[in-house]
Copies of this chain bind each other. A is one copy, B any other.
């Protein structure tokens, strides 16, 4: 049966999980046998949302009200006077296919489509999402399953179309702090007249995603119409994928992958390629940094991932090319949204302080994109990219893109900073990307945009005792202390050797 209740916004932020609150002694709970953790369907006008129930005793609600978490309130588009219909949620039939996968039955197209439709529709509770993600992690998806999942993810949500027959895109597999090449490649390539509608994610397990970094410079949550406008005007954009409902299931999955810190080749391929397909790309360049503490740790793993990406792309009508790059240490100086943005600005502006490693990586990737998309002849991409960057044309294009997205702005600066000094002297022979990333996250990145680390001790550099190794930046003394406590407990953020 269905019950019409008065919506009550409780102002509770449950991290995007829609939660409904009902009184235990109210008519609805009693008539329907609802209990905590029951799944209910909420309807307000034409909007329908699946929610998890929390049962309330006491004065928080009366029996004619249904309390809504912020996510439920927003998804329903409810307002103060809204009536919301509450009923049992339909059983989650597609989870049988997840159970089948866990017991060894491969995911076929039908199973992938059913699962992805339910995930994108918000019908998977968080524990079911966690189970699906785990079932697909650790190389548990083969190529056919990866293709099925990717195709299903690209097919839900919108799919963009562009006038140009060649639409390029790029992606970096990540795991390398500060590797913010997208903010350089897009303006270079767009300045060469190509179409590059780039959507980027926020951080999953890292201290900054490209969208987090770009957001310190310009608005990124501009929606699909905003994205279309910017690309039509400037040829390129850098927007947050979560605002454009391209492969919306991916955003739901990432929300749970992030606290679990789980990822895998199959999920990575489906996440990356479904976004590119939905954004209308025809040619995609993928950067795979390899290093002992990068996301991909060996050349062999990189080749396997590249083969998977290229094969899945081929099956789905996407020309994919992978380049394997050096992932032995962070790129640039900054780690964290605003600190990475400052590195990008220095490169675009050809400042003397610009990190040369970031510049060089961006030029190599831009060259590869120009060649992959046919804008430069094989071997001629690097000269073209360098000329566009050195001449200031890329910087002008970047400013134009920011203006089109809503206006270029100054990245924020953190009020609390602390310098960590070298305790030994010698040459730097190893840098732990993961520990530096953890340190930046403990300092507050990415939710605190100004937080993070500035790192001054690249591989091969010579340190003297007392010389700054890094600076920790935080919005609050509490976060600074939390990060420094972690740093003090680590013996090998950086390994030095006598020379």
Task: Report A's interface with B, CB cutoff 8 A.
Answer: 1, 9-16, 21, 24, 30-33, 35-37, 54-60, 69-70, 88, 95, 99, 102-104, 125-131, 133-135, 137-139, 256, 259-262, 444, 447-448, 451, 475-479, 481-482
Contacts and interface: CB of A to CB of B under 8 A. Distances in A.
A37 B259 contact: yes
Q: Which among A14, A16, A30, A256 has the highest number of chain B CB atoms within 10 Å?
A: A14
Contacts of A10: 56, 58, 60
A99 B56 contact: no
A262 B99 contact: yes
A203 B71 CA distance: 31
A479 B134 contact: no
B102 A262 contact: yes
Contacts of A56: 10-13
B15 A37 contact: yes
A36 B11 contact: no
Most chain B beta-carbon neighbours within 10 Å: one of A32, A99, A138, A478: A478
A58 B11 contact: yes
Contact of A477 (B31, B131, B260): B31
Nearest to A52: B15
A134 B24 CA distance: 31
A33 B476 contact: yes
Contacts of A15: 35-37, 54
Given A11-B58, A21-B12, A262-B99, A33 B444 contact: yes
Q: How many copies does the complex hold?
A: 2
In the A-B complex, list the 7 residue pairs whose CB atoms are closest, starting with the nearest.
Answer: A11-B58, A15-B37, A127-B130, A15-B36, A130-B130, A134-B134, A11-B57
A36 B54 contact: no
A131 B11 contact: no
Nearest to A69: B54
Contacts of A36: 13-16
A239 to B, nearest CB: 23
Contacts of A448: 33
A127 B260 contact: yes
A256 B127 contact: yes
Nearest to A3: B478
A16 B11 CA distance: 22
Contact of A31 (B35, B99, B476): B476
A293 to B, nearest CB: 14
Max chain B CB contacts within 10 Å: which of A9, A95, A131, A135?
A131
Contacts of A138: 102-104
Nearest to A104: B138
A103 B11 contact: no
27 contacts: A10-B60, A11-B59, A11-B60, A12-B21, A12-B56, A13-B24, A13-B35, A15-B37, A32-B476, A32-B482, A33-B451, A33-B476, A33-B479, A35-B447, A88-B482, A95-B260, A99-B262, A103-B137, A103-B139, A104-B139, A126-B126, A126-B130, A127-B256, A127-B259, A131-B133, A131-B260, A134-B135
A80 to B, nearest CB: 12
A326 B285 CA distance: 59
A288 to B, nearest CB: 18
Contacts of A55: 12-13
A69 B57 CA distance: 11
A103 to B, nearest CB: 4
Given A1-B482, A16-B36, A131-B133, 6 more contacts: A12-B55, A12-B56, A15-B36, A32-B479, A57-B70, A130-B131
B476 A261 contact: no
A323 to B, nearest CB: 25
Contacts of A16: 36
A434 to B, nearest CB: 11
A14 B22 CA distance: 11
A79 to B, nearest CB: 15
A56 B70 CA distance: 9
A125 B57 contact: no
Contacts of A70: 57
